[in-house]
Every structure is written in structure tokens, then in C-alpha cells.
Amino acid sequence: MDLVSPDMPFPIDRCSKRVANALLREFEGRVPTVAEVLAYRDNDWLGTPGVGRKALDEIKIIKTTLEPASVMTFRPKMSDAELLLHLNGLVQDMEAIIGKISQRDGSTSGSRGGA
């Protein structure tokens, strides 16, 4: 999923016609931004003409795909301690690779200098 900018238009094309019309009415005929839709609480929506429970559920489903929290669901399920152990292992691997490259470069430059 691409990151969604708060200034982008809300994906009204993903709404049913009834919900799209309610959104357009609420925002005086224009497509609202993602930030504007995310700023509304459930009670705000339920007080909006044309928005009932079903419409609210539809808006909430679309909102969950736009909120940054949905990106976080792809995080590995590791504790901080496990992540640190993994990081330390990667650092050791990297240091070993750097050491091998340094040895190879040192032996290569030494053989060139002696020739």
C-alpha cells in the first residue's frame, strides 16, 4: 500500500452512491481531503444528513485503509529484546564482511605493490 497524504482527495469512488452523495453534501459539493474525513468522529458522521450506521460502517472501512495505523500491521511481531538481538547479529555479519573486504583489498594492493 502506498502512503496516503492527508491532503489527497478522499477516495469517494470507493463509496456507494448514497455515501458519496452524503459526503458531497456535507462538504458543499466538493470531494473532501483524507484529513477532513479522518477528522470526523463517529458521532459527527451520525449527525450528518444521509449518514446512518451502514453509511458510517462503509466510511470506517475505507478510513482504516487510509490511516497510518494500518501500515503498522505489517510490523514483525518481535519484542524489543528480540529486535536488538537480531540487530546485533546483523552488525556482526556486516563487520565480518567489512573485515573480509579489507583483507582482500590489503592482499590485492600488497601484491600489486611488490610487482
107 in the same domain as 85? yes
Mean pLDDT of 35-61: 91
In a domain, 7, yes or no: no
In a domain, 1, yes or no: no
Regarding whether 68 and 91 lie in a shared domain, the answer is no
Q: What is the mean pLDDT of the chain?
A: 82
- Number of folded domains that form the chain: 2
Residues spanned by the domain of 60: 12-73
- The pLDDT assigned to 75 comes to 54
Rounded to two decimals, what is the model's pTM? 0.54
DSSP reduced 3-state for 9:
strand
Position 4 in a domain: no
